[in-house]
Each structure stands twice: as structure tokens, then as C-alpha cells.
Structure 1
Amino acid sequence: MECFDVAVVGAGPAGSTAALAARRGGADVVLLDRSDFPRDKPCGDGIAPEVFDVLAGLGVADVAAGYPAVPALRLVSPGGEVVARRLHAGTHTIPRRVFDHRLVAAAVDAGVRFRRHRVRTVAHDDDRVVLDGRFAARVVIGADGAGSVVRTALGHPTNPPGHLALAIRGYAPAPAGPPEQRIVTIPGRWPAYAWSFPIGDGRANVGYGELLTGGALTRGYLMARLGALLPDLDLAGATDWRGHHLPLSTRRPSPGRGRLVLAGDALSLINPFTGEGIFYAVVSGTLAGTAAAGAVAATGGADVAARYRRGLARRLGAHLRHTAVTARLGRWPRLVDAAVRAARDDQAVFDTLLGVGLADGRLNAATLWRIIRRL
């Protein structure tokens, strides 16, 4: 059996940053994933600038090399209101096959041991946790996505309908014209939207996602919605279609117990209004890894859940309360129309809403008042 201070299950952005942070804290770390890298991961691939700030704090640079920033965003509301504005820092569209591989490579370069292994069982053994009888660790970080084995071991079910979305993603020829991210929402099925995010290599990441409310959504239905909302896309020339679930942060489980903690999608850290999850992944992964290294050094790992819970509350607590409010308010399409009108008329409103939807921003009274005035 291989023994470590910290074992991280799942090598997506949450897992790789958790492993990096724990290693930088002096822990002996193993990173486990069922796949070799590079590997594909269905996602919108949009990376907000705040993600790179977090990665820079871990000593990771040049993750966006070769993928130019997209300078503008166009958003169409359910009622047809449109805002199109330049983004101050721009966002990047980096296929997860590339982005995740670069993060795993950074972790390995930092001294993290990577093992290809699919974890199936999680067992407690005195002062450590044993995974499949092969790996033992003082602390285990579950960053293994929406179907997390570690989350199941903690006794948490998956998100129920109303707190879970389904999306389909493919890569299509990029539409003609200046590069911009496009998000088009749909009347009658809100909250739901289609997207087109140019990559910079002649392709765009395109897709459609919708909140699950109990009924099944077929591939044909999702594709039809995408084609109707973005009719200029060449879907016949698109490739690599894959579907994925998005466990929304409106139904988060406890972040951990004992020597087990959760990060990223395993903790249901998906923005309920935009479906964004990479910023949450790198922030929660960094917090989990830092807490794990500190707990191993101080108590042999026994207090990791308490350390992590405090770190999450300080870093994301207020923001997550604001996103929950935003998600509830956003159930009224007329209010979303008003918010888009306000963002079209006022850069400050646009920036505030973007911060709430893509990073860790918060609503403020001035923004709410400007939206209400445009109802």
C-alpha cells in the first residue's frame, strides 16, 4: 500500500489546484484520476481572468499560452433585450483537454505524484483513510465531479431536480465576425441558454444547457434548442458532442467531515445563474489543499474539515449567498430583461453582474436599484 499525507481524488482544475496547494504547504501528495492526460472534459471552456489570478498565487503561469483573450460578450435576455460590451480583462476559451493537462503537469512538476486509478471504495482506518486498499492518506480531498465517490462516502446524495442542470457541448467552426462570447437565453424554458465561445483556432465551443426539473432531456431536444437560438452556427460541421450534468450551488452538501473534504463540482460549486464552475474549482481546490497541508502539520489531518469550512466561509460565503439570491430573482424573465437593459446602459451594472456570474462578485444596492428602475 502506498501512503501519503494527502490523496486527491480527481485531477480536474479543483483536484490539480488542491494537490498543488497541499504540496506547496509541505505535504506529500498523490493525485488520482481514472484517465491519463490529456483527456477531454465536457464544459463551456470559458476561463474568467480571476482564475489566472488564483493560479498565479500557486506559482502557475502561462496556462493560457496560445489561446487569445476574447474581448467582448454579447448577452440576449429571454425577452430579446441585448447587451454587448467589451470585457476589461477579456476571457479565454481553452479546451479542457489542454487546460486540465497543463494544471496536472504543473502539479507533477511541483512534486505531486500522479497515479492513473479509478477510486471505488473509501474506508477509514484509525488515523488515515484507505482508498481501494491501495492508497492511504491522512487527508482525502474529493474533487471527482458530479458523481463523486468521496461525496457518496460522506453520505451526501447527488443534487435533486431543480438544483441540477444538463448541457450538451461540441466544437463548431467559429462564426464570422469579430470574436465575442455569445449567450442567448430562451423564453418559456428559462433558466436555459445557448452559448458560442470562440477559441482562437477557427473553432468555437458551442452548446446548450437547461435546468432539470424532473423530466428527461434528450440529445435531440438539446441540439434543436441550440440550433434555434444560434442559427448561424454550422452544427453539421461540429464535432466532439458530449453531455454533462451541472450540480448547482443552491444545493451544496457539507464541505467535509473527519478526514474527508470536497471541492469543485463534488461540492456542487456551480454558479446557479451562469453554470460557471472553473473559478469555484480553482478557489475551492486551493482552499482544500491549503487546509489539508495545515491540518497534517498541526494535527495529523484530524481537523482538516473544520479548517476548510472556515476558509470557504471567509472566501466564498458572502458571494454564494448573493448567487443564491440572484438565482431566485432570476427565475422571473422580466427581471432578467431589466437587468440586461441596465447592463446595456451602465458599465458598472455590467461589471457587477459579470463578477457575480463568473467570479466571486456580490450584488450591491446601486445595481439592484438600476435594475428595478428598468422593469
Structure 2
Amino acid sequence: MTSTESDVLVVGAGPAGSTVASYLARAGLDVRVLEKSAFPREKVCGDGLTPRAVHELMALGVDIDAPGWFRSRGLRLVGGGRTLEMPWSELTNLPPFGLVRPRRDFDETLARHAVRSGAALVENTKVTAPLTDDRTGRVIGVATDGGTHTARLVVAADGASSRLAVALGMRPRAGRPIGVAARRYFRGPRHDDDHLETWLDLGPAAYGWMFGVGDGTCNVGVALLSKAHADYRRLLRRWLETLPAGWGFTEENATGPLRGAALPMGFSRQPHYRPGLVLVGDSGGMVNPMNGEGIAYAMEAARIAAGTIVQALGPSSDAARAERLLASYPRALKAAHGGHFTLGRWFVSAIENPRIMRMATRQGMSRPALMRFTIKLLGNLTDPRGATATDRLAHALARMTPSS
């Protein structure tokens, strides 16, 4: 058995964990990342990155011009008997393109970036329990299958199930939406399609996607509320049977099995800080309820958390000041996304009704201007300076909506 000590211990090397580790190590902190698997490893995801996520990659310093990144020019929506193409918006704060990269490569790219930034990465290490101070209950480290690791602060970036948070009694909040995503890769002619395509007619609170990966394959899948469609396999199979045979989404063209995973939405696990422990990414339910996007928000939360942690653990910060700073992290998250996520929860509740879903699809797809505004709102793709009337309206809606 071994024992190590760090400034910050990060549990999980997904997008949130690797991002926070990169920023912290770059600031000079001693950071250790514990990953239960070994890279490369699979994760269930659509692999499509919106301009919000691309912005975070660029801010982190990831080379998005290197081989393996496939650019998208916009969204293509299919529903109500219509098809609507929309380029990514020209915004002052976000790049005008998206990216696609399989999580098998994406997660390792971010993890290796963290290592180059100065973080230590320990793979094949399963966290078995938190370590807490007997007197105060403060989290001071973790036990693993290979020893113990202590730190001044622990970051839980261990995904939707977040066994670390659960072990501390931090369970998902009742009433928050939980989605399910399932995807499969297929060889086919649409692998170099430069639009992220979304199908809206799969049923209440459900949609399908097909994203070209640019390497000869497409990522094809469905996202839905878990209580709306328990059988995601049947939902995907029925949808694929309606698609043109020439697209190649058939069993013989599949390159691997169908895989599914949970989507914890709308800040479903709180608080995002308790003494000694910070939650980032899926562990804190940081998936946008409106569109199922999680990577952008995981990386944004990691950046916010890192900035807070660097101040809190700086040489000029005493224990009381450090705790006040760390306690401000949940408020910063809610200021950034609380109103938007609340709108998202209301949106999800509405589209669970089949009549509302059909009406919204039919009305929206027949009115391109309305649908463009809707997509800007759903994807949180607006200019913070309110450059247009639609930007100002979207920001006003989020600002007036209470966060919780």
C-alpha cells in the first residue's frame, strides 16, 4: 500500500477532471489525477462539440488544428416533414464552428494535455472511499485499491454515478431530469457531413442524431428522458429502420456495440462544494437540459472551479479566507448557468407532453426565424453583449428565471 499527498486531488480524468487539472497545474499547484481506467478508453457521447465547447478547448490551449478533429459548419434539423440548415452563429465570444472527435480520443487528448501542463496522471486506480477528518468531517483525501491519497482539496470529476459523492451522502436531487443517451458507430457515406444532424420526430422528450466523424464512420444515437423511454435500444432500432438504406446504418456496417449512459441534467446533484470537496462536470449534474450537451458545461465549470481554487490555495490565503472563496464556487456556477438550466427543466417538462412536442416541432420547423431563436436559446449560443434582439431576449429570459 502506498500513500501520497498533493495540493489538489482530482478523481476522474474525463473532460471536467482533465480541464481543472490543467489549469491548476499551470498555476503551480501540485495536482494528481486518479483515473479508474487506462487510456484509450470508451465513453458514451454524441462526440459533437458546439462552439461553446470549442471555445473552452481554445482557452485551454488544446491544438484543434492537429489531426483527428473534424469541423462542423452548423446544425441540420429534421422534423415535421421539413429540413432546416443553420450555420453556427457569428458571435463575438465564440468561434463560428463546431468540432467532432470520438471520446476515445478526446478524453485522452485532454488527459495528456493536463500531464504536459504539469499534473500527475495515475491510471488504473479505483477510488474506493473518501477520507474525512474525524473531528470536522472535512474531506482530506481518498482511499484507492492501491493505497491512500491525501490533499488540501479533492475535486470529484467521477461522472454521473459519482461514487465519491454518493459515499458522502450527496445523492441526486429529486425531481431533476435524468436523460439517457445511446450511440453506435457505423461505416457509411455520411462520415464527412459537415453539419450536426438532429431528428426531432422520435417521440416526446426524445431526439436522434447523426454526426459525421470524418474517418469513415458516423456516430448515430438517441437522447431521451429516462422515464419517457426506458427501452432506448428499441427507440434507436425503430428510427434506423426508417432511414435510407444507402446511408449504411445497418448491422453489417456497425463497427461496435450499442452503448448507453445517463445524462444528469440541470445541476441534479448539489451542493457543488462541501468542505474539502468540489464537484465538476457530470458529478454535479452539469448537463444542459435543453439539448443534452455536457462537455462544454463540464469544461466551463472546471475553469471556474480552477480559478476559485487557485485563489483559495494561494500563499496569501489563510484557512478562513480559503473556505470563503471555495464556498463561493456554487454561486459562481449558478450565476453562469442557473437561470438557463432552470429554463431547461421547464422546457423538458413541457415536451414530455406528446401534443406539445408535436406542435412545437411543426410550428418551429415551418418558421425558420423562430427556430433559429429557439436553437440559440436551447444551445446557449448567444452574444453576452446582446448584439441582436434575439440575444437580448435570450439573456433577459435567463436573467429573470430563478436558479436553483
TM range (shorter): 0.7 to 0.9
Counterpart in the other structure of 1:223 = 236
Q: How far did residue 82 of structure 1 move? A: 3.1
What secondary structure, in the 3-state scheme, does the structure 2 residue paired with 1:44 have? coil
What secondary structure, in the 3-state scheme, does the structure 2 residue paired with 1:43 have? coil
What secondary structure, in the 3-state scheme, does the structure 2 residue paired with 1:109 have? helix
2:280 is the counterpart of 1:249: no
Cα contact 2:140–2:153 (8 A) shared by 1 = yes
CA-to-aligned-CA distance 1:173-220 (integer Å, 9 cap, x gap): 244485322111235x3111111000111211111122111774263x
Counterpart in the other structure of 1:148 = 162
Cα contact 1:255–1:305 (8 A) shared by 2 = no
- In the alignment, the residues of structure 2 paired with residue 323 and residue 215 of structure 1 have an alpha-carbon distance, to the nearest angstrom, of 19
2:131 is the counterpart of 1:123: yes
1:66-215 matches, within 5 Å, as 66-77=68-79, 79-88=80-89, 89-116=96-123, 117-125=125-133, 129-132=140-143, 134-158=148-172, 163-176=177-190, 178-186=193-201, 189-213=203-227
Query: Which moved further from structure 2: 91-100 or 241-250?
Result: 241-250
Query: How many residue pairs align between the two structures?
Result: 361
Cα contact 1:250–1:272 (8 A) shared by 2 = no
CA-to-aligned-CA distance 1:277-298 (integer Å, 9 cap, x gap): 1101110111122222222222
| Shift in alpha-carbon separation, 1:12–1:294, aligned structure 2, 3 A | same
Cα contact 2:176–2:345 (8 A) shared by 1 = no
Counterpart in the other structure of 1:322 = 343
Q: How far did residue 328 of structure 1 move? A: 3.9
| Shift in alpha-carbon separation, 1:205–1:64, aligned structure 2, 3 A | farther
- In the alignment, the residues of structure 2 paired with residue 366 and residue 310 of structure 1 have an alpha-carbon distance, to the nearest angstrom, of 23
- In the alignment, the residues of structure 1 paired with residue 309 and residue 119 of structure 2 have an alpha-carbon distance, to the nearest angstrom, of 14
Match of 1:335 among 349, 354, 360: 360
Cα contact 1:246–1:275 (8 A) shared by 2 = yes
What secondary structure, in the 3-state scheme, does the structure 1 residue paired with 2:338 have? helix
Normalised by the length of structure 2, the TM-score is 0.80
Code of the aligned partner of 1:194: G
| Shift in alpha-carbon separation, 1:25–1:16, aligned structure 2, 3 A | same
Counterpart in the other structure of 1:44 = 46
The structure with higher relative contact order (CA 8 Å, sep 6+) is 1
- In the alignment, the residues of structure 2 paired with residue 63 and residue 262 of structure 1 have an alpha-carbon distance, to the nearest angstrom, of 31
Name stretches of at least 5 consecutive residues in structure 1 with no aligned partner.
369-375
Code of the aligned partner of 2:364: A
Match of 1:281 among 298, 302, 320: 298
| Shift in alpha-carbon separation, 1:365–1:4, aligned structure 2, 3 A | closer
Q: How far did residue 64 of structure 1 move? A: 5.9
Q: How far did residue 247 of structure 1 move? A: 1.1
Code of the aligned partner of 1:42: V
**Share of identical aligned residues, percent?**
31
- In the alignment, the residues of structure 1 paired with residue 227 and residue 102 of structure 2 have an alpha-carbon distance, to the nearest angstrom, of 29
| Shift in alpha-carbon separation, 1:267–1:229, aligned structure 2, 3 A | farther
What secondary structure, in the 3-state scheme, does the structure 2 residue paired with 1:69 have? strand
- In the alignment, the residues of structure 1 paired with residue 248 and residue 16 of structure 2 have an alpha-carbon distance, to the nearest angstrom, of 32
Query: Which moved further from structure 2: 321-330 or 91-100?
Result: 321-330
- In the alignment, the residues of structure 1 paired with residue 235 and residue 176 of structure 2 have an alpha-carbon distance, to the nearest angstrom, of 18
Code of the aligned partner of 1:195: W
Q: How far did residue 165 of structure 1 move? A: 1.6
Code of the aligned partner of 1:199: V
| Shift in alpha-carbon separation, 1:193–1:128, aligned structure 2, 3 A | closer
Q: How far did residue 314 of structure 1 move? A: 3.2
Name stretches of at least 5 consecutive residues in structure 2 with no aligned partner.
90-95, 385-389, 396-404
Counterpart in the other structure of 1:371 = none
Counterpart in the other structure of 2:330 = 309
Q: How far did residue 140 of structure 1 move? A: 0.8
- In the alignment, the residues of structure 1 paired with residue 27 and residue 318 of structure 2 have an alpha-carbon distance, to the nearest angstrom, of 14
Code of the aligned partner of 2:331: R
Counterpart in the other structure of 2:254 = 238
Query: Which moved further from structure 2: 117-126 or 134-143?
Result: 117-126
Normalised by the length of structure 1, the TM-score is 0.86
